[in-house]
Chain A
Amino acid sequence: MNIRTTTRRHFLKGLTLSLGGATYLSPMLRRIGQGADGIERKAPRFLFVLEGNGLPPTQVHPLDVPFVARPERQRLTSHPLDGRHFPASLKPVAAYAKRMLVLQGLNGEVCGGGHSTSHGALGAYNTRDGKVIHDATVDCVLGRKAGTVFDNVILGISAQDRDVVFNCSAYGPNQSAATFCNPTAAYHRIFGALSGSKVTRQQGLLMDYLQEDIQRARGSLAGEEKAKLDAYLDAYDSIRQRNQRAQAFAGRGALDLPKMDARYTAEGPEERLDAHFELGTAALVAGLTDVVTIASGVGFRHFSIQFSKLASDIKHVIGHAVIAGSPTAIAQAEAIRAYHFELIARTMRKLESMPEGNGTMLDNTVIVYLSDAANSHHTQCQEWPYVLLGGAPRLKLDGRCLVYPNRGAAGWRTVNTIHTALLRAAGVPQDGFGHFMKGVDDVVQKGPLSEIIA
């Protein structure tokens, strides 16, 4: 990542001046220009990092804050994080303790459970082993609102050797979003349109032809059959809009792109993950997207990764051994998690080095770390640990560990509320997000998680 600070400001400013007349681009460009002019952003960027195999609450709990087991939690407690003794997993981000929130005890039973909640982790619904995608996930709702070149950049690694998987994010009901697992392919997708617009122009010609052709074909259809072609047509509209936005970026200044090196073609998950964090960060810094999701082994078919440099076992074996209390397995799980937080810390340092408004990009970027398997290798989602880092004008990311009470006790809250809080922070006010549990009061599962709202 070597987009120079001054170059970026120059690039973004120049972009808005030269393209101000394009109406479909203007909101995006206006917002980018405001950042370059030193005007505060209203909606933050988001980096979601999901790591498969469960996140045992103790692995992100300050060592010098007594850990109370879920059944014994009767009230909400708050503990400052600054100066705390961090567990191995969180040590890489210890320097950002004042910009961190550790959330313990949020109830996610509405998402079901098992080895993974799949899209449910970001959708707040039960996908039944990833088979039923009820609605858009929170990252995609946020991305849609952002109106950047790419609504979302979704990257990841999988135990299966595939370039693309569908495992984590969704644009809408039954519309899983592609997670790019091949860093080289992801690089070309994100930056290809900027480095050369030939492909984009060719796609434009294709889409002109196809829109006519599909329109003709759909004319003879009705109902659900027509809807199938409408979805196909809408997809091209969406790609066309993205390409137009990308073209606006192309050739508008010295935008230093990440340099593809051995990590981009490596087979090891450590290198691939490293490359994905670099790509995601670069996309955020460049303003190509406001929402990046990194899915590290999300979903039952994808989570059992062998991190050869960090652990001797695949994650499935580690998961079972952690449940059994094996110190070796716990150490391996923590080493892998710490590696994720090292990469998160690197991203934070990069964002912190980039001036924006009256602060830095980190002041306007929320990093959300969680596991799609909530608290355990085999989870019922009765508690769902989260780590939030960074900054956002409407969120209080101010160095606290909040421990929510167990289900039924006064003040217990569900994961829906954190999604709602993130949406509020981005200027998308909603009463709630996801599915709700029957017989549970609205105050528990609707509205934002008030303790983190500024």
Chain B
Amino acid sequence: MKRSCFLLLSWIAIYRATAGAEEPDLRSFLKEHCVSCHGAEKQKGKVRLDQLDLLHPTAPDRALLERVGEQLALQEMPPEDKPQPKRAAVEEMIAAIENLLALRGERISSAHEKLQRPDYGNYVDHDTLFTEPPVRKASTPGRIWRLNVDSWIAKTQDWTHTPALFRDNRNNAKPVSFPYQGPDHAFLDYANIHWFDKSTTEMLLLETEQVARAFMQRRWDPLKKNAGGAQERTIALSFNVITGRAATPEELASLMRLRDRAAKENPAEEADQLVVQAMLLRPEALFRSEFGEGEPDRFGRKLLSAHDLAIALGFAVNVAGPDDALLAALQKGNAHDAAYLASVLRPYLRTPAMRDRLLRFAQEYFEYPHAAEVFKDAKIHDYQPVRLVEDADEFVLRILDEDRDVLRQWLTSTNYHVRGMFNYHGTKIAHIRSDNGFKDYHGNYNLTEIEAGKEPHWVDMPADERAGLLTHPAWLLAFSDNQKNQAIQRGRWVTTKLLGGIVPDAPVEVDARLPDDPALTLREKMQVTRAEACVSCHKKMDPTGLPFEQFDLFGKYRTEENNRPVVTTGMLWGREVANPIEYVRTLADSKKVHQVFLRHVFRFFLGRNESADDAPTLIDMEKAYWSSQGSLKETVLTLLTSDSFLYRTP
């Protein structure tokens, strides 16, 4: 008992010293923003906060404290229709709760974890990210980052000199040991969500065996010849091929021990193969390592080593990773001099590999390739989604190649690529209709067969009907289903990907059905989302998705729905927009929309959410974008030479 009292008093002393000075403000925060709904009179959600005493070390229930912290961190409380506290006050409140939990050896775990997730990127305050901070101290937390599946495929093909390795045309089947298991609507390749677990490791054992076999077939003998037939030297050369560096004596000795053990009960060739497989399974061959080296600066940051920086940059500009020239250039010059780095990187921005990377960014950002996965009953709807996605790719690439005012062009250009009415089988062409019974490819664009033509070509679409990707049939199809448009999901996309808004996950028990009545338009069916339980989230999605009702569930422009004039109004920033064309042009004119876009560029290339410390990087990216007349490549170059990219913190 005495011991408990002593601990309690000590704890209070510590707490007073650290956070106690702010306690009265926190109490008034609760009183001002929380207690009216969670107090003596009302306890919404069975939560009562008027008795929550932050000064007392043991009284507040841990779960309650954590919940308060999480609700504040995720901006779910106070509700939107209530007076909002200043951001700084919220941060203070969160910090105090964290302090309290930390002193008890705990933290706001769920909020912390969620804010790192790819689908929680928008939770960081937008204005903070574009406001110059008192000091510039951007950096990325030190990390290991699992190679993405395409990088690993490219690596294995390179290591084994086997370009056909893992080339599998079945549904784009790829090695299963590198699955993506992340949330919807977010970039796939985040550093903090992928690793190898029991299942994937078992797959990895099988797939690396396949790689090792290919290595033995193509590489082993030439390497052995180079090594003059010496066993250890051959292993050392193989190590160099796979890791890109020389093995240390300890590493080599360890591999030789493995080889000796394996050779006792296996033929020599199998023992060698096992050693190669072991190299392939080392963390170094599966993860990128980014921790920085040397003395930390006054903010605790360390610069990436020239080698690690070359790898990070190499993967940024090419899914296959750095080439020898990049590695050499960074070893030779001052890798941490932004001007030198830019001069080294600039040529890479014009490579086909970088073109592919930027296309991949656009595909994951706009999500239009999902059109190919949308089910539509072929008996009722005959269309060609893959062809439409290819058209969208060409649209994206052409604007990337011009590299001027990229986002505005993506959002407003009326110059569409139309693949034409022929299929291509090698050198032969066949009419699309005879090949797959396709009826209405041209109709998706409101073109006649003659206008759609036979060959791929570019078509200037009517400016009052189409404007950019959000009115492109591929994007529209990606957000549709077998029976209707998915106006809510379209609105969610605009709200989160262009407006930087937050749309919480739907509650688990939500009954998301719309009425079936065929006499109603989708807009009329969506009236159900105005119910009290739904409206707070749906008001963030429905008005920003409904303008696209201008198009039917195949992306075809229409003027009528259910034999009535189609209604295409929506709301943007509290004002009504009349139709999708006005809508997307207004979006394209917005500075904030461009900023939100740049936040997504940041996430794609850094593989993480932006934090408040990254503000200088985003500010510089924005400057680069506008000063280069909207060049995405110049903007990415600024990102790749920023402190966020070059520095790591423990």
Interface residues, chain A, with chain B CB atoms under 8 Å away: 109-113, 125-126, 128-129, 131-133, 160-166, 171-172, 174-178, 198, 201-203, 205-206, 208-210, 212-214, 217, 220-222, 224-225, 227-229, 231-232, 234-236, 238-239, 301, 304, 316-317, 320, 380, 435, 437-438
B373, CB-defined interface residue at 8 Å: yes
- Contact at B508–A133, with CB atoms within 8 Å? no
Q: Which of B196, B257, B379, B512 contacts A380 (CB 8 A)?
A: B512
Residue of chain B at shortest CB distance from A179: B199
28 pairs from A and B in contact (CB 8 Å cutoff): A112-B508, A126-B508, A128-B184, A161-B173, A164-B176, A164-B203, A172-B197, A174-B197, A176-B179, A202-B274, A205-B261, A208-B258, A209-B257, A210-B278, A210-B282, A213-B254, A214-B282, A214-B283, A228-B287, A229-B195, A231-B197, A232-B195, A232-B283, A236-B201, A317-B378, A317-B379, A380-B511, A380-B513
Min CB distance A33 to B, Å, is 28
A171 to B144, CA, bound (A): 23
When the two chains form the complex, which single residue of A125, A175, A208, A210 contacts B199, counting CB atoms closer than 8 Å? A175
Closest to A160 in B: B171
Q: A178-B176, A205-B274, A316-B375 are in contact. Are A239 and B181 (CB under 8 A)?
A: no
Q: B504 contacts the other chain (Cβ, under 8 Å)?
A: no
Instruction: Give the residue name and chain of the A residue nearest to B255 (CB).
Output: A209
Chain B residues within CB distance 8 Å of chain A: 142-144, 146, 170-171, 173, 176, 179, 181-184, 192-193, 195-203, 205, 254-255, 257-258, 261-262, 265-266, 270, 274, 277-278, 281-284, 287, 291, 373, 375, 377-379, 482, 505, 508-509, 511-513, 650
Question: What chain B residues lie within 8 Å of A175 (beta carbons)?
Answer: 197-199
A212 to B266, CA, bound (A): 22
User: In the complex, are the beta carbons of B171 and A171 less than 8 A apart?
Assistant: no
Among B181, B277, B482, B505, the most chain A Cβ lie within 10 Å of the Cβ of B181
* Whole-angstrom CA separation of A236 from B278 in the bound complex: 13
Nearest B residue to A382, CB-CB: B511
Q: Is the CB of A232 within 8 A of B144?
A: no
Q: Return chain B residues, CB-CB under 8 Å to A109.
A: 508-509, 511
Please, how many angstroms separate the alpha-carbon atoms of A238 and B205 in the complex?
Answer: 13
Output the least CB separation between B380 and chain A (Å): 9
Among B202, B278, B511, the residue within 8 A (CB) of A178 is B202
Contacts of A301 in B (CB 8 A): 373
Contact indicator A176/B199 (Cβ below 8 Å): yes
**A286 CB to nearest B CB, Å:** 20
Given A161-B173, A228-B144, A235:B274 Cβ within 8 A = no
A83–B349 alpha-carbon span in the complex (Å): 75
B197 / chain A contacts, CB cutoff of 8 Å: 171-172, 174-175, 231, 234-235
Residues of A within 8 A of B291 (CB): 220
Whether A221 pairs with B144 at a CB distance below 8 angstroms is yes
CA distance A165 to B284 in the complex (A): 26
Contacts of B650 in A (CB 8 A): 222
A131-B181 in contact (CB<8A): yes
CB atoms of B181 and A174 under 8 A apart: yes
* Nearest chain A CB to B38 CB, angstrom units: 16
- A320: chain B residues at CB < 8 Å are 377, 482
Contact A205 B201 (CB under 8 A): no
Is the pair B198, A317 in contact by a Cβ cutoff of 8 Å?
A: no
Distance in angstroms between the alpha carbons of A128 and B266 in the assembled complex: 48
Minimal Cβ-Cβ distance residue in A for B505:
A128
> Please, which residue of chain B has its CB at the minimum distance from the CB of A232?
B196
Interchain nearest-CB distance for A355 vs B (Å): 34
Q: Are A206 and B277 in contact (CB under 8 A)?
A: yes
Nearest 6 A/B pairs, CB to CB: A235-B201, A228-B195, A178-B199, A175-B197, A161-B170, A164-B176
Q: Which residue of chain B lies nearest to A226 when distances are taken between CB atoms in the complex?
A: B144
Chain B residues contacting A111 (CB-CB under 8 Å) are 508
B-chain residues with CB within 8 Å of residue A172 when the two chains form the complex? 197
Which interface residue of A172, A202, A208, A320 has the most chain B CB atoms within 10 A? Answer: A202
Total inter-chain residue pairs, C-beta < 8 Å: 147
Contact of A128 among B183, B203, B205 (CB under 8 A): B183
Contact A206 B375 (CB under 8 A): no
B181 contact from A160, A176, A438, Cβ within 8 A = A176
Residues of A within 8 Å of B278, CB to CB, are: 206, 209-210, 213
Neighbour of A210 across the interface among B171, B266, B281, B508, CB < 8 A: B281
Q: Choose one: B284, B377, B513; the contact of A217 (CB below 8 Å).
A: B284
Q: Are A203 and B205 in contact (CB under 8 A)?
A: yes
**Complex CA distance for A301 and B508, rounded to whole angstroms:** 21
Give A437 to B511 CA distance when docked, in angstroms: 13
B202 near A239: Cβ-Cβ < 8 Å: yes
Given contacts A161-B171, A178-B176, A206-B278, contact A239 B198 (CB under 8 A): yes
Q: In the complex the two chains form, is B282's CB within 8 Å of A213's CB?
A: yes
Cβ contact within 8 Å between A225 and B142? yes
Across the interface, name the chain A residue whose C-beta is closest to B274: A202
Are the C-beta atoms of A166 and B199 separated by less than 8 Å?
A: yes
Q: A232-B201, A437-B508 are in contact. Are A225 and B144 (CB under 8 A)?
A: yes
With beta carbons under 8 angstroms apart, the residue of A166, A231, A234, A317 that contacts B179 is A166
Q: Other than the known A162-B173, A227-B195, what 18 A-B pairs have Cβ atoms closer than 8 Å? A: A112-B508, A125-B508, A128-B184, A129-B184, A163-B176, A166-B199, A176-B181, A177-B199, A201-B265, A202-B262, A205-B261, A209-B255, A210-B282, A225-B143, A228-B195, A228-B287, A231-B195, A235-B197
For B170, B183, B197, B257, the residue with the greatest tally of chain A CB atoms inside 10 Å of its CB is B197
**Cβ–Cβ < 8 Å partners of B201 in chain A:** 232, 235-236, 239
- Residues of A within 8 Å of B192, CB to CB, are 224
B171 with A238: CB separation less than 8 A: no
CB of B29, distance to nearest CB on chain A (Å): 26
The answer for the CA separation of A47 and B534 in the assembled complex, in Å, is: 40
**B482 contacts across to A, CB distance below 8 A:** 320
B residues near A176, Cβ cutoff 8 Å:
179, 181, 199
Closest residue of A by beta carbon distance from B184: A131
What is the distance, in angstroms, from B515's C-beta to the closest C-beta of chain A?
14
User: Cα distance A175–B509 when bound, in Å?
Assistant: 24
Q: Are A239 and B144 in contact (CB under 8 A)?
A: no
Known: A163-B176, A213-B283. A110 touches B509 (CB 8 A): yes
- Give the distance in Å from the alpha carbon of A238 to the alpha carbon of B508 in the complex: 33
A161 contacts which chain B residues (CB < 8 A)? 170-171, 173
A220 to B200, CA, bound (A): 24
Q: How many Å lie between the Cα of A162 and that of B176 in the bound state?
A: 9
Q: Which residues of chain B are within 8 angstroms of A209 by Cβ–Cβ distance?
A: 254-255, 257-258, 278
Within the complex, the shortest CB–CB distance from B534 to chain A, in Å, comes to: 14
Q: Which residues of A contact B257 (CB under 8 A)?
A: 209
CB-CB under 8 A from A228, the residues of chain B are 144, 146, 195, 287
Cα separation A304 to B650 with both chains bound (whole Å): 47
Contacts of A217 in B (CB 8 A): 282-284
Residues of A within 8 A of B181 (CB): 131, 133, 166, 174, 176
Shortest Cβ gap from B115 to chain A (Å): 13
Return the chain A residue nearest B291 by Cβ.
Answer: A220
Chain B contacts of A234 at CB under 8 A?
197-198
Query: Are B171 and A162 in contact, CB atoms less than 8 angstroms apart?
Result: yes
Q: Which residue of A lies closest to B45 (CB)?
A: A438
A110 to B511 CA separation, bound complex (whole angstroms): 11
The complex places the Cα of A201 from the Cα of B264 at a distance, in Å, of 12
Report Cα–Cα, A178/B265, bound state, in Å.
31
Which residues of chain A have C-beta atoms less than 8 A from B200's C-beta?
178, 235
